[in-house]
Amino acid sequence: MSVSPGLLDLPNEVLLHIFSFLELDDLNRVFLTSWRCKQLAENEQLWKTLCKKHWLLTERKSNSETWKENFILYYKDFGRYIQSYPVIFSSWTNLIDILRIHSPNIISTLKDGLSESDLDQFEEEYTCKLPEALRLFYRICGGQDCQDSNTPGLFGSFANVYAVDLNNYIFRSLPCLTQVHPHLEKSDVNSQLLTLCDTNCGIDYCLVLPHTISKEVTHMEGAPKPYSVVWTSANQIFSAFNSFEEWFLDYVEKVSFGRYHIDGGLILRYDYEPEFVAQTGPITVKAGWTRSQALAHKNMLFEYRITMSMDEDAKPADSCRLLERHWIIKHFADGKEEKVSGPGVVGEFPVMKPGSKYSWMSRTYFRSPGGSMEGHFTMRNLRTSNIIKVECPRYVMKHPLPV
């Protein structure tokens, strides 16, 4: 009677390939099943594969250490995050590579990661539990050393027409993200691990509020209570993601693919979707938007940022000045459409010349589920005085609340 071959009858290289797909707990159990498996447990190629899979290591920290020793070293430090480490760390690496090129000022402010004891102490002090992916981020990056209010935020900034921080409020804690609510004074920040949030901006991330938080904020509708850790901004209606990991991956993707522009070293958190672009001759108009503030139930204020530029290879004879703006604003809630016209943009009448660029920010509000804007700009050629109609793309601003 013939016996069918079993798993252990496979060649070593095949077994090692199979083992590389197992979870660590399952792998440890397999190593205990036979003497042969125990011998394979010392195979350097297997541990090299596992180091690359779980810790993204392509070379050993020290030539005197084996790949297994490298794996154990990382496991002792980051073992609790083994599921999320490769995703969070690879996204972090991608973000850093982009910032080294486009915003070295941010790189120069980054602090070293925190220790497990630092995070444990924080959780004990505030009687809370941080999400695991957020803890891992803090282990990798300890926030920013922001010496002045003009330091660009690691997780984005909002800019006015002159491309400076809108309110010049930057996080002083962990991590430095965008803006701090005006009611939160520096004296309120009593822990280096504290993450604060601007309740006027639709930023989705985990935040911790201190016990010294001002009454104005704690009494705001929707604001979480002191000592609480929440996943969203201070007003719950802004939440668009289920976890820090989901938010972080989305953020890095938008920075990587230009959905969030980097201008003057600032990561501008206005969503520039690919279709929000219009071309009229040598002039390009791009639109981006972000949720700004909840005005009342189902009403939300949106900020939008328009960037107009003229191709560098345009002819000097194409130079022109913006005279008027013309908007068609549509409300999705009731289908209402309104037309708005006026001189210039934000009180200015910018001139477009070859290679020039002009950006400005303004606001509008919509009820749920949101609305759209589109239109054109009337411009006059500086040489011929001919009137030019420059198109602005249609862009949709979405409300996070259901209809």
Say whether both 65 and 193 belong to one domain. Answer: no
Closest CA to 51 of 4, 85, 3: 85
Say whether both 279 and 360 belong to one domain. Answer: yes
Q: Tally the domains of the chain.
A: 3
Say whether both 96 and 242 belong to one domain. Answer: yes
Alpha helices in 41-190 (DSSP H): 44-55, 67-78, 85-102, 104-109, 116-126, 132-140
In a domain, 278, yes or no: yes
Q: With contact defined as beta carbons under 8 Å apart, do 140 and 81 qualify?
A: no
Closest CA to 307 of 364, 336, 345: 345
- What CATH number does the domain containing 41 carry? 1.20.1280
Domain boundary (79, 98, 119) is at: 79
Say whether both 248 and 288 belong to one domain. Answer: no
* DSSP-assigned states of every residue in 10-34: S-HHHHHHHHTTS-HHHHHHHHTS-
Domain boundary (79, 97, 119) is at: 79
Say whether both 391 and 340 belong to one domain. Answer: yes
In a domain, 259, yes or no: no
Q: With contact defined as beta carbons under 8 Å apart, do 387 and 378 qualify?
A: yes
pLDDT tens, the chain, 403 aa long: 566 677 777 888 888 888 888 777 887 788 888 888 878 878 888 888 889 999 999 988 777 689 989 999 999 999 999 999 999 999 999 999 999 999 998 898 888 888 999 888 877 766 667 778 888 988 998 877 766 656 777 877 654 322 222 222 222 233 333 333 333 333 333 332 333 333 333 333 334 333 333 333 333 334 333 333 333 333 333 345 667 788 789 889 999 998 888 888 888 888 888 899 999 999 999 999 987 655 555 677 888 999 999 999 999 999 999 999 999 999 999 999 999 999 999 999 999 999 999 999 998 988 878 899 999 999 999 999 999 999 999 999 987 654 4
Say whether both 290 and 363 belong to one domain. Answer: yes
Domain boundary (201, 225, 253) is at: 253
Say whether both 23 and 98 belong to one domain. Answer: no
Say whether both 241 and 306 belong to one domain. Answer: no
Radius of gyration of the chain (CA): 27
Residue 73: give the domain boundaries: 7-79
Token code pair at residue 369? 């589920």
In a domain, 215, yes or no: yes
